[in-house]
Amino acid sequence: MSAARHVAIIMDGNGRWAKKRHLPHVVGHQRGVEAVRRLVRGARDFELEALTIYAFSTENWRRSEEEVSSLMGLMKRFILSDLEEMAENNIRLKIIGDYKAFTPDVVELIEKALARTADNSGTILAVALNYGAQDEIARAAAAAAAKGEVTPETIAAELDTADLPPLDLLIRTSGEVRLSNFLLWQAAYAELYFTDVLWPDFTANHLKEALEEFANRERRYGGR
């Protein structure tokens, strides 16, 4: 049995959660933020070295202007309300993806949060913002080529997650069973875990169940 060091989550199902309750999509996203808050606290309890969450993909810009605006507003409120708690609990914030594509006020808040938690040594909370794995791999390959050698090792060294432990477990909620352009390189030998639970209903107990199943799996990395 082995313990996971790095867990990533595709947080799916906010819209369906709201629809089932005849509520606006934004309410589903609000409850999704509450689930993030629970999971960040749970990451400490389970002694994870890194927790990576898929918050906003490069494809999410295709959503309605109203929904994108709501997501940006929720992100700002989450940073403003939870930053001090993260800092006090030794959590270090990291962003993967191109967050500088957001509006200046969002960029400023993100950079303040990064600076505020930069010296923390506990769990790393890596938030994927304006992130797409294919774009990440292309950028990493180009950077490796510019340095003169393109190999799996040199590409891996240029990935957004290069300073994180190898990905052990990737969880997706809501019953969907695809990776949706998330951590494609990093997931090469990660264990995958799919659950029908919609993201707003996902709790620390659900994370515990996933971690327990991971601990009982035999990881072979292509061997027997």
Residues with catalytic annotation? 12, 60
The tokens of 36 are what? 């993030």
The tokens of 37 are what? 């808050």
Amino acid at 61: W
3-state SS string for the chain: CCCCCEEEEECCCHHHHHHHCCCCHHHHHHHHHHHHHHHHHHHHHCCCCEEEEEEEEHHHHHCCHHHHHHHHHHHHHHHHHHHHHHHHCCCEEEEECCHHHCCHHHHHHHHHHHHHHCCCCCCEEEEEEEECHHHHHHHHHHHHHHCCCCCHHHHHCCCCCCCCCCCCEEEECCCCCCCCCCCCCHHHHCEEEECCCCHHHCCHHHHHHHHHHHHCCCCCCCCC
